[in-house]
Amino acid sequence: MLEERPSRAPGDQHRILVTGGAGFLGSHLCEQLLALGHDVLCADNFFTGTRRNVEHLLSDPHFELISHDVIQPLDVEVDRIYNLACPASPVHYQRDPVYTTKTIVLGAFNMLDLAKRQGARILQASTSEVYGDPGVHPQPESYWGNVNPVGVRSCYDEGKRCAETLFFDYHRQHGVDIRVARIFNTYGPRMHPEDGRVVPNFVVQALRGNPITIYGNGLQTRSFCFVDDLVEGLGRFMEANPGGPGPVNIGNPAEVTVRDLAQLIIDLTGSSSKLVFAPLPPDDPTQRRPDVSAAAQMFGWQPGVQLRDGLRKTIAYFDGLLSAGEFLPLRRERVR
């Protein structure tokens, strides 16, 4: 149940487009924006997003869901745009890498064009992957990264880097009001069980009592941000006044090894799963930790949910899916 909308000052309510709004992050963001009293237009082509993520919002008269692929232009009246449309896990973005690059780059172009026509403020969901396998730790926004431009992850890494370029060129050349958020590893309810990222992989394997697969030696580190913290950070960044284009890191700086994450999930689920090891995928980063001081200084944000608490909520979500027999396969072909 959404919170009752608070009373808002005239002109404080926005009509907001969320591309990729039926995905994991997008659906939580739509939910938050509605709770804050905004009108939300959710656009998704359901390549990795799913209608079930936003079904509970369909009865809200301030929410609209449309089927749309951001590769194609979109003409709607909005004053805020969150551009989240893109497959975000290696399993998904490597399935059709040419389409992934088109989604990121053409999607950025089309949404920036819309923002220019409408005079709208637009936020790009960029990624920590722009830093590649970093040579600087933790990663500040001033670090230019260490990215392989011809590797199997390049469609996503370089696509997002190109999108950032487009955003800043539209800002400098056309005066578009932009925000660029570099999102670090995020987890929580509504991730798909076949997502392919480490948290859902480990949770599903643990709940089923299957061996937990760790790629490499498990000593590589990640920093995991719970989805509620992440969407709050995006919202604060969008509305920061005075604000700025960024880029700004949004993530949790608490660092954990992949092996310790697996053991924590085993403990929280009470699973009998054992750890098994497999070769590390190409270009997989060895360290990932955000410097979030810019977010704290610019709009007073820092994550508040501890990893153990966020994992409990995530485990409960996946346990519910398993119990109800609702593990649905992901769509294997995009909507054309």
Q: Which residues are catalytic?
A: 156
Which of 139, 120, 268, 274 has its CA nearest to residue 212?
A: 274
Q: What phi and psi, each to the nearest 5 degrees, are found at residue 132?
A: 60, -140
DSSP codes joined into one string, 19-34: ETTTSHHHHHHHHHHH
Q: What phi and psi, each to the nearest 5 degrees, are found at residue 129?
A: -65, -15
Element (H, E) at 321: helix 307-324
Q: What phi and psi, each to the nearest 5 degrees, are found at residue 209?
A: 75, 15
Instruction: Name the DSSP class of 129.
Output: G
DSSP codes joined into one string, 255-300: EEEHHHHHHHHHHHHT----EEEEPPPTT--S---B--HHHHHHH-
Beta-carbon count within 10 A of 230 CB: 27
